[in-house]
Chains A and B, each alone.
Chain A
Amino acid sequence: MLAAPEPSPDPSLSETDANQTFDALIWALSRPGIPRGLPAAGEARIIRALLDRECRAYSADPLILPEIMRTGAQIAEIDAADHVFLGALQDLAPLDRIALGSDLYPDDGATVVLRGQIGQGPGLRLSGPGIESTLTVQIGGLPSGFWQKRRALIRYPMGFEIFILDGAAVIGIPRSTDIEVL
């Protein structure tokens, strides 16, 4: 009889990275508006933790593309992509084309990752699941009218999730969050 392979109780480096990154993402998305630290700055860790050959990804930032291609994910147009990396967003036009999923399959809505500045810029009042009553945060570096546009696009349960990266800090904004610009 063959001996069963011994399990490895020590995770590999990539596994540890992905686990920590996902831990930050799930925590951030469960508690919208509260920043959480990723193991390292930038989109690369998120890409490695989430993307593989079953994904279609779009990136507005060409510097991220090699990292996406390394995962085997298909590079797609923005409206066909389930993961959208917008980098530092300049104008609102790309938002119109982001996949929202359907009422039947809300999970087809995209996950959007973009860069911003946490603690600067306009104040936002957040409410919804994950927030006890309301929470006020400042998120800068996004084009003006971004949150109004998001509100106009999302028809819950259709919509998309946003992760805002500022260095190694990440804020998650699920589609269920109501945002009022102060």
Chain B
Amino acid sequence: MKLADLTKPWEALSYGFLDASAKREMRRKMLKSIAVPGCQMPYASREVPMARGWGTGGLQVSLTLVNPRTRVKVIDQGADDSVNAASIRRFIARVAGTPTTMDTLEAGLIQSRHRVPEEILRDDQVLVLQVPNPEPLRSVQPNMSIARQMHADADYGRMWLQLYEQIVRSGRVMQGASYPSLVHGRHVMTPSPIPRWDVPKQHMARHLTILSAGREKRIFAVPPFTRVEPLVFSDVPYKVEDHGDLTCTRSGTRGYFMNEIPQNDGTSAYEVSDSEWGVKTIRAAEDGGETRGETWYKDGKMS
């Protein structure tokens, strides 16, 4: 062993901001989280130049995975142009020299907050979801040591009880986002605060999904072709939001997840949440060039 073997050339800043040991830890934990789908793995969660809770977990995963050929897309609630998404995209491009895109079909790596894109992801794409609260049991068990034991025992009775109470009190399941889902028939996970609309997209998908909570220091994953089943009672079917009949006021696209925009007269206008889908729809109407890919939902129904 020579001294030269143990050193490396000086760099002003590590490629991709994270230092090599941080990346190695992320790599080890990502492998384990893929091996046990839906199981929360603790990790160190290093400092990144962004406040915890703003996507630091997802950012660390992205920074570990990228190389100068990875085309990066970042979305926040479906939009590529919101402040948080634009800042993260620019940061990754700056520290890792990656090309960026807004087109879902062009992207190699998609970091997302609260949405899964409408176009079907391929097996060469990775979806990184930012997770604020990775523990689905927190609402029924605030003590995380006990919650961990419940995961170990697959003791999810209280999750069912919570859903039952919602149905009894309100007549329907009140869980709007982060709908608890059983992964590979073993671990209940939160799919991150994606709407109910997006949960079926995770089931037997072709792409790898990595979910990372930077503030809570936990990472979990849904490998391709993995069962992701929202918890439901056999006589109360799983329902996605009633957006199948809504039309986007800006692009005219219909049958996708919409943002509701309250109007002065008390009514609501809707615009498609996946902003790039809306842009592509407008472009297709203007010049007839079709750039839209296949979508998970067709005519407002999951296919």
Contacts and interface: CB of A to CB of B under 8 A. Distances in A.
B187 A157 contact: yes
B148 A130 contact: no
Given A26-B30, A52-B21, A161-B31, A6 B36 contact: no
Contact of B67 (A19, A70, A157): A19
A56 interface: no
Given A130-B223, A176-B37, A7 B20 contact: no
A9 interface: yes
Contacts of B184: 128-129, 176
Contacts of A30: 34, 208, 223-224
Nearest to A174: B35
A15 B20 contact: yes
Given A129-B223, A176-B184, A26 B35 contact: no
Interface stretch (B4-12, B50-58, B260-268, B272-280): B4-12
Interface stretch (A87-95, A104-112, A116-124): A104-112
A8 B67 CA distance: 12
B208 A8 contact: no
A69 to B, nearest CB: 8
A102 interface: yes
Interface stretch (B94-102, B113-121, B246-254): B94-102
A54 B28 CA distance: 11
A5 B35 contact: no
A157 B186 contact: yes
Interface residues of B, number: 55
A14 interface: yes
Contacts of B39: 106-107, 157
B13 A6 contact: yes
Contact of B24 (A31, A51, A106, A109): A51
A70 B153 contact: no
Interface of A: 5-12, 14-16, 18-20, 22-23, 25-26, 29-31, 49-55, 66, 69-70, 82, 102-107, 109, 111, 128-132, 156-157, 159, 161, 174-176
Nearest to B126: A26
Which A-B residue pairs are the 8 nearest by beta carbons? A9-B97, A103-B152, A174-B35, A5-B12, A11-B15, A129-B226, A107-B32, A7-B95
Contact of A130 (B5, B67, B226): B226
B236 interface: no
A153 B204 CA distance: 27
B68 interface: yes
A50 to B, nearest CB: 6
Contacts of A51: 24
Contacts of A22: 27, 64-65
Contacts of A102: 152
Nearest to B42: A107
A131 B21 CA distance: 31
Interface string B113-150: 00000000001000000000000000000000000110
A12 B8 contact: yes
Interface string B218-233: 0000011111000000
B45 to A, nearest CB: 14
Contacts of B208: 26, 30
B11 A12 contact: yes
B200 interface: no
A135 to B, nearest CB: 10
